[in-house]
C-alpha cells in the first residue's frame, strides 16, 4: 500500500498520469506559451492547440537530441584525454 494508503502497493501519486513531473512540465510549457505569445481572445479561437503542442514537442525533442549529441562528443573527448594521460603521462 502507498504512503497515503489509497493506492496499490508500490504506486505513489506522482506515478499517475497527470501527476508525473513530465505532465507538470508539459502543463507549464503550455501556460508559458500562451503567456508569452500574448494572443487576444479572438486570436485564440484560431489557434490549433494540438498543432502548437506538436511543434513545441518537436522543438524540445530536437533540443534534447542536440544536447545529448553534444554531451556524447564531450564524453568521448574526455575519455580520449584520459586514455592519453594513462598511456603518456608526461605529455
Domain ranges (residues) in the chain: 1-46, 48-91
Q: What is the mean pLDDT of residues 19-36?
A: 73
Residue-wise pLDDT tens digits, 51-82: 877 877 888 888 788 888 888 898 899 899 98
pTM above 0.75, yes or no: no
Q: SS3 sequence, 19-66?
A: CCHHHHHHHHHHHHHHHHHCCCHHHHCCCCHHHHHHHHHHHHHHHHHH
Amino acid at each position: 500500500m502507498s504512503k497515503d494508503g489509497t493506492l496499490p502497493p508500490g504506486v505513489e501519486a506522482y506515478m499517475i498520469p497527470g501527476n508525473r513531473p513530465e505532465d507538470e512540465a508539459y502543463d507549464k510549457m503550455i501556460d508559458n506559451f500562451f503567456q508569452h505569445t500574448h494572443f487576444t481572445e479572438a486570436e485564440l479561437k484560431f489557434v490549433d492547440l494540438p498543432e502548437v503542442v506538436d511543434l513545441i514537442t518537436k522543438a524540445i525533442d530536437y533540443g534534447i537530441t542536440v544536447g545529448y549529441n553534444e554531451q556524447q562528443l564531450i564524453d568521448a573527448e574526455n575519455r580520449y584525454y584520459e586514455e592519453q594521460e594513462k598511456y603518456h603521462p608526461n605529455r
